Structure 1
């Protein structure tokens, strides 16, 4: 039987169907799954397997079975393979060994109930004997709950007791079989990986680590052997296993001669046996893995484990930039910061490391140049890429601490300096913008249609729901123009055709005009153009970059994001008649992506004043009484047409929040948050998606699957 490879996108679909099934009436679950899978038998089996694991967990069966699941008489099965096959008889058919490492042996097996191939990891005999089976299985319970596109999930686990003369205890756990290879195998075959590939894989690993950290799980053993590659994407395996072994084994582990963690990737605090490890320990290990992907060897390679540990404790890592010319100084600085000896000197989170890698790509390597004209398109775009993936855009935690060689994200500059910065930023954009698409999804995350567009940006649905305005490159054009797609006719109309880099369209309430940003000698200005013809007029001409994010329903003013230099981004209220603006939200933090409520009373926006991006709602007329809408981070709020729901992005997921109007001047009450679906949302400083009036359709700028290019 041929199975469909479990790519990250495939896992997202499994997760969507699983969540829909769990949210439904148990009596209707089979029907819900059958309808959602629509004839995809592989998808149905995966979902049913996870539902079965969920039900067994609820019955205190999965991960809580007693240690002695099987007890056989002396002299029976003695080899590990035979004992495993006996213990799993009726549930899994063990075929053969496919690999082994310092702590476990991996077997290929067939899941009898779900008709699929799986990988079963069995702990080494001396390790299984040293740990308490019940405690180990209890500790990895949380691992079974981790559901993320870049985390290899845990399907099942258990143990079986045998007398010592029969080989002793068998302790095992079951994972999906990945049709691919480990990162270790790829490095061994290729040596140094292309910079773009290494950074992409590191960011995916960081995304997985950040998700696990927010669920209280520190990996403790990040290394190339624990990263599987499938379809060009990373899957991190063995989450929580090292911690489970430490807690279940205690001091008994020292007698086995097995060391938890791998010296080449162990942070100093872990190498000296410190138990106070946290997310920054995994950040260090990820930095070591990225160094190896870029340089072809680990940062502290040596002839013996003792020599490796001595170098970890006493030497600085060799700069990757000295080994290859296509590594920028910013990328090198990010790797070195991740490998700092003191945890306080590293990135505070995996999300911060991922964001620093994104921005490091904005600096071209020493042997490459990029045109300023193309750079102007990307100038603002990449400043916040990664927010929707859960990355934290806080200057103090992203860039200012990276290294003195790394320029800050935002700094006061003249127009010429701004253009130079744009050139640096464009390097990453030049790699990625041709691989993005404009797609319409339904509320379940099913793609309905793709709007043909070259490098689409900031889509906005018209008030009547029949058209979508967006920025995109035309044929042969080095800058963006404004386009309007008629969704019913399927035809696109070009509104601008010049070198003004027109972008960031916002509809007037009656649908007759569009406000947008356009290139100007001092940066970018805000313009208004009627759709029935006529010349565009300027409503905001100031030195610097500003762009509209919404238009008040009464047409009197625009909400505008302004690049405020050293103070990041501020939100202004710009009168439509061109008179001077007033500040709405302006602080030392970044305030962006403001959207006004349908009744004009409230403004939702993003701010990182707390240290990470969150979504807030505040009064339009009298700001200062804001309420927090998001939970655990969020960016880019958009209102439903009736104001009863607000959408935002968090960790790659589109979240819907119920809002209930309050009496008087009180802000709306924040209700339940529902994760609708995951997508490869490509975030910018401005909001890169929009929502139909009824909240049932979403037009999203997203990254295409690189494996399908």
Structure 2
């Protein structure tokens, strides 16, 4: 039976004589071949059959033709392209099943990935030189309307002392023709998860050249530290990290890096495209002054001069607080504080809409650093936990694939984990997991007869988790041990710890108002109460004839909003 190599060799026999396979990537297999017409060594890339079928010859040739127009000393040129033969098992008249290929010069060197695998982090002056050459290639391509979308060490060849960027146009053609979901199903990482911009990870349909700027920032980080800024045990974890995690400072991993070089790389890694360099040419201009004998290292006898001001996340956090961010939930628009039936009303003077997807979006929780929002989204009858930046961007379903429904996310005080409830017809559980996904830990399981826990809440010191179940207020250690009953309260929900951890506020009655179900938004009476967090008798602090909801402590703990 002929092998895949034999089938490809036969299909391309009119143009090339295949010698051996050079390697395989997510989109194509690369072969060393002899160009029969010009008697020269070439590298022929043959798209994977499932991608070739999704793409089709017409779209493939349109994008390849655009890429073939690029002429630049740091762009690997395109010699030829074509559709030849048929993939195994395809019908004789199925044009979409042809092998799609393109030929490039064979570079007798190594890829940047090979260099990193062999040496780890690069000398700083080498890293700066490679970044300048790749950025210069991108600037040329962007000026001609071509974005790469898959900048990574595997697509950068080293010829002598110089870098050559390959595969322009191919990643864009495949991604737009097949769509992210199809590629994910096929096992292909569009843009490669470790190098994908947040907007790529969120499947934003309006991508532009700034995804290449972000990928170049990832590349620079890896060249200087020997590792990418974000990683995960699954592609989904890595994608979520791009959206919500801040990269560790380069200077912590490699002391001596100049603040100017670190600031340039970190600006490329900005979550929002508008906060990055707006063009590759601008990036080249910022890097060129650092291509000096000191190679971007800070001499011990000088004071560094900042070439690029680092971003100011604290300013964004202040803006988030000033905007009084909310999800529009039912009729909630004004919070009131009442003491003995009197007191000033506190109005929200400004609101900012964060979410706009179809379906219910409820039970929001803002991360301790105010950078991210976790909430329960209900679409098509399925409830999941979603995560999105508070300063814009698309939400990511971080519990996709979990059985049953997931509701009521709450952040640990350090922002490293979320606790939430998962339930189906057989029972319910309180789980924790990092906001990037993976490492799911089951703290407590209950049968449906015992009632579904509603909204677990982490204590301010992170040592305990309080939750409601049926008519019980319960608390356990953060690892799920030491379960204790604190009080019996009819139809209890919406617990809230005081800032010092000494008190718990909550609501008695009408739990269906706050949780999706047949009675969602039910306008019945409920009462706010306060009780000692160590256990004791709950004290009702509101009337019992109105709809009283959503207790929240002021930072000092001396007043309660509801």
1:348 to 278, 299, 303: 278
Residue in structure 2 matched with residue 273 of structure 1 by the alignment: 203
Compute the displacement of 1:347 (Å): 0.5
TM-score, scaled to structure 1 = 0.41
Query: Cα deviations across residues 68-91 of structure 1 (Å, max 9, x unaligned)?
Result: xxxxxxxxx953322322222232
Q: 1:109 to 1:365 in 2, by over 3 A?
A: closer
SS in 2 for 1:153: coil
SS in 2 for 1:248: helix
Are 1:118 and 2:52 counterparts? no
Higher relative contact order (CA 8 A, sep 6+): 1
Q: 1:252 to 1:189 in 2, by over 3 A?
A: closer
CA distance in 2, matches of 1:312, 1:90: 45
Compute the displacement of 1:95 (Å): 1.0
CA distance in 1, matches of 2:202, 2:232: 18
CA contact (8 A) 1:202 1:286 kept: yes
Are 1:229 and 2:164 counterparts? no
Q: 1:231 to 1:81 in 2, by over 3 A?
A: same
Residue in structure 1 matched with residue 189 of structure 2 by the alignment: 259
Compute the displacement of 1:399 (Å): 5.0
Q: 1:163 to 1:128 in 2, by over 3 A?
A: closer
Query: Cα deviations across residues 77-134 of structure 1 (Å, max 9, x unaligned)?
Result: 9533223222222321111111111111100100111111000001112211222122
Q: Aligned runs of 1:95-494 on 2, under 5 Å?
A: 95-162=19-86, 164-165=88-89, 168-250=97-179, 253=183, 255-360=185-290, 365-369=297-301, 399=307, 402-403=310-311
Compute the displacement of 1:258 (Å): 2.5
Gapped regions of structure 2 (runs ≥ 5): 92-96, 314-562
CA contact (8 A) 1:133 1:248 kept: no
Q: 1:404 to 1:196 in 2, by over 3 A?
A: farther
Compute the displacement of 1:403 (Å): 4.9
Query: Cα deviations across residues 140-167 of structure 1 (Å, max 9, x unaligned)?
Result: 1111111100001111111125275269
CA distance in 1, matches of 2:27, 2:312: 41
Compute the displacement of 1:400 (Å): 5.7
CA distance in 1, matches of 2:310, 2:145: 26
SS in 2 for 1:185: helix
CA distance in 2, matches of 1:163, 1:191: 39
CA contact (8 A) 1:195 1:326 kept: no
CA contact (8 A) 1:325 1:366 kept: no
Compute the displacement of 1:231 (Å): 0.5
Query: Cα deviations across residues 431-468 of structure 1 (Å, max 9, x unaligned)?
Result: xxxxxxxxxxxxxxxxxxxxxxxxxxxxxxxxxxxxxx
Q: 1:368 to 1:244 in 2, by over 3 A?
A: same
CA distance in 1, matches of 2:168, 2:135: 13
Q: Aligned runs of 1:595-674 on 2, under 5 Å?
A: none
CA contact (8 A) 2:42 2:105 kept: yes
Compute the displacement of 1:358 (Å): 2.4
Q: 1:366 to 1:160 in 2, by over 3 A?
A: closer
Q: 1:312 to 1:342 in 2, by over 3 A?
A: same
SS in 1 for 2:89: helix
Q: Aligned runs of 1:63-78 on 2, under 5 Å?
A: none
SS in 2 for 1:121: strand
Q: 1:197 to 1:317 in 2, by over 3 A?
A: same
Q: 1:366 to 1:321 in 2, by over 3 A?
A: same
Compute the displacement of 1:361 (Å): 5.5
SS in 2 for 1:353: helix
Residue in structure 2 matched with residue 82 of structure 1 by the alignment: 6
Residue in structure 2 matched with residue 683 of structure 1 by the alignment: none
Count residues in correspondence: 305
Query: Cα deviations across residues 240-292 of structure 1 (Å, max 9, x unaligned)?
Result: 10111123334754553423211111000011111212221100000100100
Compute the displacement of 1:204 (Å): 0.2
CA distance in 2, matches of 1:163, 1:264: 31
CA distance in 1, matches of 2:206, 2:64: 19
CA contact (8 A) 1:331 1:361 kept: no
More helix by share: 1
Query: Cα deviations across residues 173-200 of structure 1 (Å, max 9, x unaligned)?
Result: 1010001000011111111100000000
Residue in structure 2 matched with residue 53 of structure 1 by the alignment: none
CA contact (8 A) 1:325 1:365 kept: no
TM-score, scaled to structure 2 = 0.51
Higher Rg of the two aligned structures: 2
Residue in structure 2 matched with residue 482 of structure 1 by the alignment: none
Q: 1:314 to 1:83 in 2, by over 3 A?
A: same
CA distance in 1, matches of 2:239, 2:176: 23
Q: 1:132 to 1:327 in 2, by over 3 A?
A: same
| Structure 1 runs of 4+ with >4 Å offset | 250-255, 360-364, 398-405
Q: Aligned runs of 1:563-582 on 2, under 5 Å?
A: none
